[in-house]
Amino acid sequence: MKTLFRSFPATVLLALLPLGFLVVMVVAPLVAMAAYDGSAWSLVLADDYMQHRLVWTVVQAAVTCVLVLLLGIPVGWSLARLSFRGREVILRLLMLPFVMPTLVVGVGVLALFGANGVLWAGWQDTPYLLLYGNVFFNLPVLVRAAYQGFLQVPQARLQSAQTLGAGAWQRFCFVEWPVLRPWLAGGACLVFLYCFSGFGLALLLGGSRYTTVEVEIYQLVMYELDMTQASVLVWMVLGVTALAGLLYAYLSRQTASDKAVRALLPHRPQSLGERVLLGFSLMVLLLCCLLPLVAVVFLAVSAGGSWGVLLEPETLAAGWNTLRFSGMAVLTAVVLGVMYAAVARRVAWVRGLVFLPFMVSPVCIAAGILLLYPQWTASLPLLVATYALLAYPFVAKDVLAAWDDLPEDYVSAARGMGANAFQTTLYVTAPLLKPALRRGLTLAAATCIGEFAATLFLSRPEWQTLTTLIYSYLGRAGEDNYARAMVLTTVLMLLSLMVFLLLDEREKT
């Protein structure tokens, strides 16, 4: 009983900052949006224009799910079953979209298929640009899910089916598919969630006809000052993303990796069908995941004198703002993430809240913040806090997972040798959690460096970052402005790649 009374105050103190931060930055703004004007629901739902936006938002997310399933299953099978040169590199590169800013991808798609596209120009103001951009970001999500699912199929079961005369297609349908299905369902839920609540790609690639609800919220708040209709759309988005998030959480319980399963080892392609499938998979990854980045670099290399933009005061100020905002947000995310993990270790129901910032889009958060805290609009603490809100879940998730996997014997041995709780944490727990903390910090830093949506809402003109400066150049007429946007996009891409390489190094070690 004494231990209970000692631990309860400590738990409350630990919970004050991370849970209070969630209440202030997420719950309170969303409640304010809900209470703004309930009479607008019928007007919004009856508006033909809004109906079109809602339907298209659902359609583009659903079509993307179908596309990545059709493309991702064969790619996942090739990576799980076939051994070939470069396989390990490709598996690592599947993390790249998680650290690549949406703005970079959007500019890359425009570089390929926009008005001045190097591959096939003239596809602007069509739905295909947004769908292609969605596939870039979400195909690796589905491939990773399929790859992990294939690894959970027991080797003995596959070999038994082959011995009984089952062909490759029969083994897939009757042995692999039942195991794979929940993994694909979970991956599809994430894809739908990301596409439905996506903002940057829809803003850049949707044109005037194919923007999504998120872009409509941004336009209502920033240009029309119509918080009434914006609040209705925010809660519609939240309702859909909450359902997708809950479904993903449910499916995640069914897709926990079983380390005791002995997976089939990959083999060199033997039949013509396996060679064709491997070639198809590599071509899909090249066209859907690498080509936009190559197009940006190609146009930047051809920019000539436009490289002088890097030395202009506006660019230097934007770069400095990007680094200092990201640095302050990452430091805040470390404190919030570690404290959140500590609380989640003590209180089970807190664990589910780590996904809350993932389920609420930056546009919805920024709109609610503008409504609830108008006196803090365009203030540095609010901007950094918003960055940190989007970044700290990566720290909390990785640290909590690593903490759960720590052997109990280490802590017990330290306490048995006379170490107190502080010494045990400092000299035993902290060093063991350091790799997970670095991994979470890398993803958090990548999120802050490429942040775009919240910056458009909450920053001042003099607080321009690299993302908003690129967007500004894209909106200006002239070939030189377009070339400058490509140069700056390449710089932003290189920053993201540096973060990715840090993460990749930690993963290898």
| Helix, strand, coil distribution of the chain in percent, nearest 5 | 80, 0, 20
pLDDT at 61: 95
Structure tokens at 201: 């790609």
| Helix 102-113 and helix 466-474, axial crossing angle in degrees, nearest 10 | 20
Bridge partners of 267, per DSSP, are 82
Residues 103 and 202: beta-carbon distance below 8 Å: no
DSSP 298-342: HHHHTTGGGGGGGGSHHHHHHHHHHHHHHHHHHHHHHHHHHHHHH
Report which DSSP code applies to 117: -
Residues 107 and 471: beta-carbon distance below 8 Å: no
pLDDT at 430: 79
Q: How far apart, in whole angstroms, are the C-alpha atoms of residue 384 and residue 466?
A: 16
Q: Which bin fits 136, alpha (ψ -120 to 50), beta or left (φ > 0)?
A: alpha
Burial (0-12, 13-18, 19+ Cβ within 10 Å), 243: middle
pLDDT at 315: 94
pLDDT at 226: 80
Structure tokens at 441: 């910090």
pLDDT at 439: 85
pLDDT at 241: 83
Amino acid at 377: T
Compute mean pLDDT per 10 residues along the chain, 509 residues long, and list them.
50 81 86 70 82 92 96 94 90 82 91 87 88 92 92 86 82 88 90 89 87 89 82 85 79 64 82 92 91 92 91 94 93 92 83 77 82 80 90 89 77 67 71 85 89 84 90 89 93 88 57
Q: Coil, strand, or helix at residue 420?
A: coil
Q: How many CB atoms lie within 10 A of CB 244?
A: 22
Burial (0-12, 13-18, 19+ Cβ within 10 Å), 167: exposed
